[in-house]
Amino acid sequence: MDKEKVAEILTEIGTLLELKGENPFKTRAYSNAARTLEGLAEPLEKLVAEQRLGELKGFGEALVEKITTLVTTGKLPYYEELKASVPPGLVEMLRIPGLGPKKVKKMHDELGVDTVEKLEAACQAGQVAALDGFGEKTQAKILEGIQFSRTYASKHHLSQALVVAEPVLESLRGHPDVIRCSTAGSVRRFKEVIGDIDFLVSSKKPAAVIEFFTSQPGILNVSAKGETKASVILTGGIQADLRVVSDAEYPFALAYFTGSKEHNIVMRQRAIARGLRLNEYGLFKSTEETRDPKLLVPCKTEEDIFQTLDLPYIPPELREDHGEFTAGEKDELPRLIEWTDLRGSLHNHSNWSDGRDTLEAIAAHMAELGCDYWAITDHSRASFQANGLDPARLRQQLKAVATVNKTYADEGSDFRLLTGTEVDVLKERLDFDDDLLAELDVVVASLHVAGSDEADNTKRLIRAAENPFVHMIGHLTGRLLLERDAQKLNQHAVIDACAATGTWIELNANPYRFDMDWRLWQYAKGKGVKCVINCDAHRLEHAGFLRLGAGIARKGWLTKDDVINTLPLAKLKKELGKKRGTGGQP
DNA sequence: GCCGTTTTCGGCCCGACTGTTTTCAGTCG
C-alpha cells in the first residue's frame, strides 16, 4: 500500500474518531501523521522496512504499529472495525457547511439521522430545531448548506479562482478608502485547487469598503456582512471572504490569512519560543492574551515579522510547512523562478493534430508575446482521437515549420518554432521509431493510455526515459484535477530513471493538470532532474499558462536554473543535443 | 495519540462568528 492511500486512511480514522467524540488531540495526531506522510520525500515502504518510521515527528508507538500493518498487509483491523461502527452518511454530513462532529453526533444520537437525506427530512419536520443547543436558524442553515453542497462542488481550479479574484482585487485597489489590499489564503499560496478566495484590505473606513465589496458586479449572493468581514458567492459558485483591518494590523493579518494553517502553527510556536504571541492582530511582547499596542513589536510588512522570528522572507508559495523553516534558518531558501524567466514552451499543439491554430498564427502570436521559441509537438499516430500525425505527415510538418522559420529569419527576427512530437508511450515501444525522433528538435513522451497495473505503467515510462531521443516525460500521471485521479504509477521510480538518463520532466502548466505535482519537485531536484514548464497549448491563449506553471514551480521550490525553458535558444539547443550525444541505444 | 532544558503527566495554536444562550459550545479558517 502506498503512502497516499495510507495517508487517506489515517485522515479518515481521524474523522471517524471525531464523530465518535474522541479526544480532539488524539484525532489531530492522526491527521498530522497523514500530512507528514503526504509530504514524505522517500518511499514509505523503505521507511517501514528499515524501521525508521518512529523517527518522524508525531509518530509514536501506536501510529508506527498501525502504519506498518497497513503497508505490509494492506489491511488494518482497527480501521475496518472503526469504519463499520460509524454510518458512512455521517462523514458525508460533515461536508455540509456549519456542521461539525459534535452536531452531527448529537443529531445521530438523538434523532437517528445517519444520511444527508434523513437530515434534510428531519430539518423539514422541524425536529432539528427542537434539539437542545439547536434552533430555527441552525436548522435553516443546515438546509441551505445541503442545497449549496448539491449546487456547487466545494473545490475549484486555481485558474478559475484567479479569473474572478483579479478583477475584484483591481477594483478594491482603486477604492479611495483602501490603503493596502491583497488576496490571501490558498489563492495567494498558489494551491492547484482552492476552496474559497480570501481578500484582505487595510482601511480606516471598513464599513465603506465592505459595502463596496458586497456590491461588486458578479456577486451572486451575500452570505454574511459584518463590521470587519463579509462573505459572498462569486460567479461560478466560488465563495469569497473579505476581511478589513487597520493598516497597522495589515502585515499580521496578511501573514495569518495567507496560511497555511500548518505554517502558521509553526510561526506561533516560534513566537512563543521567543516569549512573544502572534495572532492576526499583531506580534506582542507577552505570553498572555493582549492587544495592548504598547506591547506590539512594530512590523510594517511581512518581512519584518519573519525577521523578528529570525527568518528570511518566506514567499507565500512555500508556506506549507514543507521544510521552509529548516531552510530559512540555514538561509538556504531558494531564489524562486519568476514567470518572466521563461522563454517559450516545449510542448504545444497546432491544427495539424488537435490544436486550434495554424503554425503561422502560433508563431506570430508567440513572437509578439516576446517568446524566443515555441515547440510544435503534435500528437503521434496512436492518438487517433486527437488526429495524431503519422511519420509522413510529421515529415511534411517539418517542412512547413522550416518555411515559417525562414520568414522570421528573413525579417531578422530571432524567434523560431521548434519541430517536435508528443510521442505516445505504447505498451511495448514508442509510437515512432528512433530514426524519426532523431530528426526532431524536441521529443516529449507521454503515456496517454495507461493500464491498471502500476508496475507495468512505471516500466513503460522508465523505458521511455531510457530512450536517448526522448527529451522529457509529459504530464507524468495523466491526472485531471477534480475530475480524474493520477494513473497508477510509481512516480519516484520514474523520477529516479529520469535522473539516471538525463531526461527532463514536464511541469504541465494546464491548470487542470499541473502535472507533475508540486510536492514531488523537491525530490526530483534533489536527484538533479530538470523541469520543463510547458503550456501543452491547444489555443493561442493557452500561452498564459506559463504564468500559472511558474507559480506551481515556485511551490515546488524551483529556481531559474532548475527549469530548462528559461534558457535562450542557443543554450537550449545545446541542452537538447546533450542526451543524444552521450546516450546509447536503450 | 504524542511529547519532554517545567520530561512519564498534563499539556497539545488561536481567535472570530454564530446561535444559543445570559456565559458558552460548536464551527471555521
Mean pLDDT on A171-194: 94
Q: Residue A25: which residues within 8 A CB-CB, separation 6 or more?
A: none
| pLDDT at site A290 | 72
**Does residue A30 carry a pLDDT above 80?**
yes
- A521 or A8: which carries more pLDDT confidence? A521
* Cα–Cα distance for residue pair A203/A180, rounded to 1 Å: 7
3-state secondary structure of A240: strand
Confidence at A120, pLDDT banded by 50, 70, 90: very high
**Does residue A92 carry a pLDDT above 90?**
no
Tell me which protein residue sits closest to nucleotide B12, measuring alpha carbon to C1'.
Answer: A25
Mean pLDDT on A411-416: 96
Among A508, A477, A480, smallest CA distance to A492 is for A477
**Does residue A488 carry a pLDDT above 90?**
no
**Does residue A582 carry a pLDDT above 60?**
no
Protein-contacted positions of strand B (CB under 7 Å): 1-3, 11-21, 25-29
**Does residue A116 carry a pLDDT above 50?**
yes
Strand-pair partners of A507: A533
- A448 or A368: which carries more pLDDT confidence? A368
3-state secondary structure of A304: helix
Task: Tell me the backbone φ, ψ of residue A338, rounded to 5 degrees.
Answer: -110, 150
**Does residue A404 carry a pLDDT above 70?**
yes
Contact in structure between A387 and A394 (CB atoms under 8 Å) = no
Q: Which of A38-52, A462-476, A570-584 has the highest mean pLDDT?
A: A462-476
The whole model's pTM is what?
Answer: 0.79
Mean pLDDT on A501-521: 95
Q: Residue A235: which residues within 8 A CB-CB, separation 6 or more?
A: A164, A218, A219, A220
Q: Percentage of chain A with pLDDT > 70?
A: 98
| pLDDT at site A458 | 93
Confidence at A479, pLDDT banded by 50, 70, 90: confident
Residue A578 (CA) to nucleotide B2 (C1'), in angstroms, measures 51
Contact in structure between A491 and A476 (CB atoms under 8 Å) = yes
Tell me which protein residue sits closest to nucleotide B24, measuring alpha carbon to C1'.
Answer: A133
Residue A231 (CA) to nucleotide B16 (C1'), in angstroms, measures 14
Confidence at A155, pLDDT banded by 50, 70, 90: confident
| pLDDT at site A584 | 35
Residue A313 (CA) to nucleotide B11 (C1'), in angstroms, measures 32
Q: Residue A324: which residues within 8 A CB-CB, separation 6 or more?
A: A263, A314, A318, A333
- A559 or A152: which carries more pLDDT confidence? A559
Check whether the bond before A516 is cis (ω within 30° of 0): yes
Tell me which protein residue sits closest to nucleotide B3, measuring alpha carbon to C1'.
Answer: A58
- A389 or A482: which carries more pLDDT confidence? A389
| pLDDT at site A407 | 97
Residue A198 (CA) to nucleotide B23 (C1'), in angstroms, measures 32
**Does residue A390 carry a pLDDT above 80?**
yes
| pLDDT at site A275 | 87
In the block, residue with C-alpha cell 522572507: A313
Shortest CA to C1' contact from A98: nucleotide: B27
| pLDDT at site A586 | 31
What pLDDT, in 10s, does the model give residues A58-80? 899 999 999 999 999 999 999 99
**Does residue A39 carry a pLDDT above 80?**
no
Q: Which of A113-117, A263-267, A365-369 has the highest mean pLDDT?
A: A365-369
Residue A54 (CA) to nucleotide B11 (C1'), in angstroms, measures 22
Average pLDDT value for chain A: 90
Sign of CA dihedral A159, A163, A164, A170: positive
Nearest 5°: CA angle at A494, between A3 and A70? 20
* Cα–Cα distance for residue pair A511/A160, rounded to 1 Å: 9
Residue A198 (CA) to nucleotide B13 (C1'), in angstroms, measures 21
Tell me which protein residue sits closest to nucleotide B2, measuring alpha carbon to C1'.
Answer: A58
Question: Residue A514 has which C-alpha cell?
Answer: 499541473
Shortest CA to C1' contact from A256: nucleotide: B29
Task: Tell me the backbone φ, ψ of residue A553, rounded to 5 degrees.
Answer: -60, -40
Radius of gyration over every alpha carbon of chain A, rounded to an integer in angstroms = 26
Mean pLDDT on A409-417: 96
| pLDDT at site A152 | 61
* Cα–Cα distance for residue pair A510/A539, rounded to 1 Å: 12
Residue A39 (CA) to nucleotide B17 (C1'), in angstroms, measures 33
Count of Cβ atoms closer than 10 Å to residue A517 Cβ: 19
Edge to edge, the sheet with strand A373-379 lists A344-345, A373-379, A416-424, A442-446, A472-473, A504-508, A531-534
Contact in structure between A119 and A142 (CB atoms under 8 Å) = yes
Mean pLDDT on A572-583: 84
What is the distance of C-alpha A188 from the center of its chain? 12
Q: Which of A21-35, A50-64, A420-434, A518-532 has the highest mean pLDDT?
A: A518-532
Shortest CA to C1' contact from A133: nucleotide: B20
| pLDDT at site A354 | 87
Residue A135 (CA) to nucleotide B23 (C1'), in angstroms, measures 18
| pLDDT at site A411 | 95
| pLDDT at site A580 | 85
What pLDDT, in 10s, does the model give residues A286-321? 777 777 788 889 899 999 999 999 999 999 999 998
Tell me which protein residue sits closest to nucleotide B11, measuring alpha carbon to C1'.
Answer: A25
| pLDDT at site A24 | 84
Q: Percentage of chain A with pLDDT > 90?
A: 63
Count of Cβ atoms closer than 10 Å to residue A80 Cβ: 10
Shortest CA to C1' contact from A54: nucleotide: B2
Q: Residue A255: which residues within 8 A CB-CB, separation 6 or more?
A: A264, A267, A302, A305
**Does residue A585 carry a pLDDT above 60?**
no
**Distance (Å) of CA A209 to CA A203, A224, A242, A581:** 8, 14, 9, 62
What pLDDT, in 10s, does the model give residues A313-344? 999 999 998 899 999 999 999 999 999 999 99
| pLDDT at site A423 | 94
Shortest CA to C1' contact from A264: nucleotide: B13
Strand-pair partners of A224: A231
